[in-house]
Structure 1
Amino acid sequence: MTDLAFSCVDVRPEPYGAGPTLLFRLRIEAAAGERIHAVALRCQMRIEPVQRRYAPAEVEMLGDLFGEPDRWSTTLKPLQFAHASLTVPGFTGSTEIDLPVTCTYDMEVASAKYFRALADGEVPLLLLFSGTVFSGERGFTAEPIAWHKETGFRMPVKVWQHMIEQYFPGSGWLRIRDDCLDSLRRYRSERALPSWELVFEELLRTAREPMPAAAEPGPRGRQS
């Protein structure tokens, strides 16, 4: 059976993609310098959040994903990041190739929430490989990639931040229900607010204002 070894050696944003895309640089090695005609490669990527430490500000931002910090020993589970596929051209011995991974900035998606919450450091990733390898010195054989093939990679948080800034400079995206959006539009129209930022800022400011103290009842008059 053809034995392939996989590793990830780098990652960078795709500068000219139609949407946010990361390019993971994969190194593929064939045992004993075997000749490979092609590889139909699939890759599943998972975030392994338990493999890093978190600053207090990051802990606060991750509450909606993992709950209170005292529960993290049981709630810090892997998060699905992406699925990607690629056809690897023929090579002998080893090769390197870029794996494009389309990313989302939808804050309803767990991976995007996680990335957004991190200020610095690295994102621990696990890449799991599957697919078909086509090989043979004098013939042509097709074999599945062994199910246990995987590799870890620690992606710098800055790479994600630079990619998002490249596609959505100084902004983010929220997805809400139609009825909630209609209510926000009425609120904005009634107050003639020129931007959505001012709508949210006013709502936040109102929410932070202290509630007025309830008036205490005065003394009851005597009845004659």
Structure 2
Amino acid sequence: MTAPTTELTFAVLDISPEPYAVTPILTARVGVAAIGDDPVHALVLRCQVRIDPMRRGYTDDEATGLLDLFGPRERWPSTQRTFLWQHATAMVPGFTGTTQVGLTLECTYDFEVAAAKYLHALHDGVIPLQFLFSGTVFARGSGGFTVTQVPWDREDRFDMPVAVWQNLIAHHFPNTGWLRLRHDTLADLAAYKSRRGLLSFDETITSLLSRQEIP
């Protein structure tokens, strides 16, 4: 088996919502270029998508929303670090030269997930993303069939507009959000709702928040 002569590079071209998906999904359109003599028979693409918060500035309102993640502004030089958003995979069929592939990014609105909390805190501007590519390349050339790994240094950065995320969430969860509660907390909340004759859990929590503390 001869050494491979095909090298791959990757570039994120665009990120957009999937309009007909049942759950919130973004699709990253990734351009793949094969530099070399041999055509690519197939590519199993893996990608680690990370958020790089240091690549943008924040308003005071946004900083308040990020307090749980990074603490007050004076601590940001030591607390703001690139962190994982998600892993994504895709099968790329054979090609020669260049091709494009859609990378599915499944999104959650669970505020206990650091990425969702970060994204919810942003009001405008961009979301600074980092894509770290890896995977397996199957090539067939004059020397025979080869199987190689995508080098670990293949990466790209993409600044996704905050509006893309906001529109995706507004489409699937209009004017709502999600909180995860323990079973006993949820049972107590349901009991309080029944005793007060309240119609929804939203109304129940509003009632609890509006109660005056008795000294």
Fold-level similarity (TM above 0.5): yes
User: Could you tell me which residue of structure 1 aligns to residue 55 of structure 2?
Assistant: 51
Relative to the length of structure 2, the TM-score reads: 0.92
Describe the superposition over 1:47-83 as per-residue Cα deviations: whole angstroms up to 9, x where unpaired: 0011110111110011111112211111111221110
CA distance in 2, matches of 1:18, 1:164: 12
Aligned equivalents of 1:64, 1:211: Cα separation in 2: 29
Alignment match of 2:155 (pick from 144, 150, 158): 150
What is the match of residue 216 of structure 1?
none
Distance 1:98 1:151 in 2: 15
Q: How far has the Cα of 1:5 moved from its partner?
A: 0.7
Gaps (5+ residues) in structure 2? none
Q: CA RMSD in A?
A: 1.5
1:2-151 to 2 correspondence within 5 Å?
2-32=6-36, 34-138=38-142, 139-151=144-156
Q: Which one of the candidate residues 158, 183, 196 is aligned to 2:188?
A: 183
**Contact 1:34 1:93 (C-alpha < 8 Å) held by counterparts:** no
Structure 1 CA distance for aligned equivalents of residues 105 and 82 of structure 2: 18
Structure 2: distance between partners of 1:154 and 1:120 = 12
* TM-score (norm. length: structure 1): 0.89
Deviation at 1:210, TM superposition (A): 7.4
What code does the residue aligned with 2:162 have?
A: V
| CA offsets 1:188-220 (integer angstroms, 9 cap, x no match) | 1111111122112222222xx5776xxxxxxxx
The whole-number CA distance in structure 2 between the counterparts of 1:205 and 1:59 is 26
SS at match of 2:101: strand
Structure 1 unaligned residues grouped into runs of 5+: 213-224
Would you tell me which structure has more strand in proportion to its own residues?
A: 2
Checking the alignment, whether the CA contact within 8 Å between 1:13 and 1:21 is kept in structure 2 is yes
For residues 115 and 195 of structure 2, what CA distance do their matches in structure 1 show?
36
**What do residues 94-139 of structure 1 show as CA deviations (whole Å, max 9, x unaligned)?**
1111111111111111101111111111010110011111113233
Query: Which protein is bigger by CA-based radius of gyration?
Result: 1
Task: Number of aligned residue pairs: give it.
Answer: 210
Q: CA–CA distance in 1 between the matches of 2:112 and 2:75?
A: 22
Percent identity (aligned):
46
Question: Alignment partner of 2:100: what SS?
Answer: strand
Q: Does 1:195 align with 2:193?
A: no
The answer for the alignment partner of 2:170 in structure 1 is 165
